[in-house]
Structure 1
């Protein structure tokens, strides 16, 4: 079997594939490769995770920038690696189980389905949501970058209004634990959403529905709260809990991240739980009060969005449903919470720039 071949390398920083030349050093138990740009890598085979896809292999390695992936489609070279691993007892029990034959696969599948059936309503969502602690926050940046490059590439990002929106947010104290960055998209879509890395996307469609800057403060405070509590990652883990259950039990962070990465496209339309929306409402309201902005802005925003939904359901309502209960709770908070309102000329001027 040949000890040299070619493959495709993904560095964990971007989704751009990099062709590379490969060499298997069986003496040192290492896989050496070099990309066309001259980047060198030396991977210890025993420290790399493997996935089989027919006659091809996918290797994954955790780095400070995220998950690095090496794809090998040369069946002969893949077989040489697997032969070396087998001879040196590097194939773990799980891989052996997968290769053990149809009957064992059938028994394993029946056991898994039985466990899922017994624990689906409670245990799996609970474990899925809490598996987010196994995911480093650096991976939030990787996922968000992938989403932005895939979904906002052809969106009409308005640079001047993006600058104004960032200046607007800079006037506020948003209790943020991450650096927040804001993108203004000039599209008639009634929507706004937050990505795990702190990027908050606001569409002109939702801003055009607003009458005063206090509504925009309420919106940004609400989305900032989702970022602060990693709600999108927790909700995605909960939604994928059936897939993540076994990985979380085994402490397999790579398996969890790979599954989440395959579902990065759902961030924009992710529907939060009632618990997460209530938490974001409370913190968003506290942000409004902290910035001495009229708290009726949050109430007006919710009522305006709900009125809009009576005709055609805005995209915001499909992911952040504004219920009568949320409106009633906000109304009660406005009545019961002491607050001081101070007009902010800078916010007003920047808001008008966004409305043009």
Structure 2
């Protein structure tokens, strides 16, 4: 067997020397190629040789106590040579890369696995993380974001200024139990729809106002939308939907970038669908507001009936497509309304409702 070219280091200096390796029964001999080298032939007993496993094409072996001697070898077929010479000793454990890249089918499987992991990160982990980050955004930043969304979105609608003024006046008679600045805009649209923006903006289509007969129905609609604002449902849903776009902005804490990305996708708010859990959470919060102020919870029951009836007829009901009305929600509202006993005078709310109807 021909000697094998290696680079040898005695562990005491940084210099490495060209040498040849001879594989002997039970030991290795390492001999310098140059006669004037700083070392003489070195003998390594087989049991003391340690292989340094790596992912490069350089094979490294160490020997002895500290400071350890080292040899490096770039002979590609060295594993086969050692296996033939010492069949009962394992110098190299099979590396993952060996298994992956030797078989085309295994390589394809590996690529599919990595692609799957990346997809899972993008579609599940990243949206979840983005939603959690959304919950940590300071309120002033969220209000700025909502303002940018509103400015982009409202240009596509015709705002009824007089009706908006009256609905905002109506809302001021209700304590919604939130720190957000609530600002309501009524737009001229036939559809039965209303939606909340992050930071306090609420857009109400006048189509749903035309269907209302009592102040409690309007109060229920507004309380429900304010609850979405209060719990940041819109913000969290937007961040989940746009998590891939927001990822870089979040990493660099680029508030302006976050606002820009979300504002450019403001139209998604019109069709933003909440889950059953979020709808139920908003219902509970809104109904707590009613109970705290002695407003009849029958307003929720009547509002749900308007939506349910419209869904069975020919009227366009965008509100139900984005705010799913389930039997559980209707039953919960009906049960609480039947059990409610504490009512308060709502003459101020009634007065503002009548003023609103005059404009409507």
Aligned position for 1:331: 334
Question: Post-superposition shift, 1:192?
Answer: 1.3
Aligned match of 1:318: 321
Partner residue of 1:263?
A: 265
RMSD: 2.7
What is the deviation of 1:272?
1.3
Shift of 1:246: 6.8
Instruction: Provide the C-alpha distance between the structure 1 equivalents of 2:227 and 2:288, rounded to a whole number of angstroms.
Output: 10
Larger radius of gyration: 2
Alpha-carbon displacement from aligned partner over 1:306-342 (angstroms, at most 9, x marks no partner): 2101224411112111111211122223234x44223
Against the structure 1 CA distance between its residues 113 and 141, is the aligned structure 2 distance closer, same or farther, given a 3 Å change threshold? farther
Describe the superposition over 1:149-185 as per-residue Cα deviations: whole angstroms up to 9, x where unpaired.
3332353322222221121111111112112122222
Aligned mates of 2:302, 2:208 — CA distance in 1: 13
Report the 3-state secondary structure (helix = DSSP H, G, I; strand = E; otherwise coil) of the residue aligned with 1:184: strand
Answer yes or no: is the 8 Å Cα contact 1:135–1:257 preserved in 2. Answer: no
Report what 1:230 is aligned to. 232
- Structure 2 matches for 1:113-262, cutoff 5 A? 113-119=115-121, 122-133=124-135, 135-153=137-155, 155-244=157-246, 250=251, 252-254=253-255, 256-262=258-264
Contact 2:274 2:323 in 1 (8 A): yes
Give runs of aligned pairs for residues 21-36 of structure 1, distance below 5 A.
none
Q: Distance in 2 between matches of 1:301 and 1:209?
A: 9
Matched with 1:345 is 347
What does 1:278-289 align with in structure 2 at a 5 Å threshold?
278-289=280-291
> Are the aligned partners of 1:174 and 1:221 in contact in 2 as well (CA < 8 Å)?
yes
Aligned pairs, how many?
246
| Residues 124 and 154 of structure 1, relative CA distance in 2, 3 Å threshold | closer
How far apart are residue 193 of structure 1 and its match? 1.4
Deviation at 1:222, TM superposition (A): 0.6
Change (3 A) 1:241 1:149: closer
**Structure 2 unpaired stretches of 5+:** 1-110
Q: Is the 8 A contact 1:196 1:230 kept in 2?
A: yes
- C-alpha spacing 1:233/1:179, structure 2 compared with 1 (3 Å): same
- More deviation in 276-285 or 318-327? 318-327
- Distance in 2, Cα, partners of 1:126 & 1:208: 39
After superposition, what is the alpha-carbon deviation per residue over 1:177-210, rounded to whole angstroms, capped at 9, x for unaligned? 1121222223323111111121222222111111
1:282 to partner: Cα distance: 0.2
Cα distance in 1 for residues equivalent to 2:309 and 2:321: 14
Which is further off, 123-132 or 282-291?
A: 123-132
Structure 2 counterpart SS, 1:172: coil
Deviation at 1:226, TM superposition (A): 0.9
Q: Distance in 1 between matches of 2:134 and 2:346?
A: 39
Q: What CA deviation, in whole Å up to 9, does each residue of 1:246-282 have, x standing for no partner?
A: 765x465556555434322212221112221111000
SS in 2 for 1:141: helix
Q: Secondary structure of the equivalent of 2:192? A: coil
SS at 2:167's partner residue? Answer: helix
TM-score of the superposed pair, with normalisation by structure 2: 0.61
2:24 paired residue number: none
Shift in alpha-carbon separation, 1:329–1:121, aligned structure 2, 3 A: farther
Counterparts of 2:120 and 2:186, CA distance in 1: 45
Deviations 1:104-147 (A, max 9, x none): xxxxx989843343346753332121121454433333333333
